[in-house]
Amino acid sequence: MIDVADNLMRESRPGDALKAYQAAWQKLQRQLDTKQQVWLLLSIANAAVRFGDFGEAFEALSVLPEHYS
């Protein structure tokens, strides 16, 4: 799932990548270790910024200090 989203980002399709990263977060969050969770949240934020959804980027980044500091 994450590889698909990464490929969408490489193809300059941040909106589709954002949806794919969000789906990966919903499905895989509990299966990922802490480092992988942080990277996925950063990927969500990156895709959101590139797509122009700054609220979603802020939301993804705000989780980091709450749960991963």
Amino acid letter for position 60: A
Instruction: Write out pLDDT tens, residues 47-58.
Output: 999 999 999 999
Instruction: Write out pLDDT tens, residues 2-11.
Output: 999 999 999 9
Contacts 24+ apart (CB under 8 A), 6-9: 6/43, 9/43, 9/46, 9/47, 9/50
Q: What angle is formed at CA 40 by the lines to CA 16 and CA 44, rounded to 5 degrees?
A: 40
pLDDT at position 69 is: 76
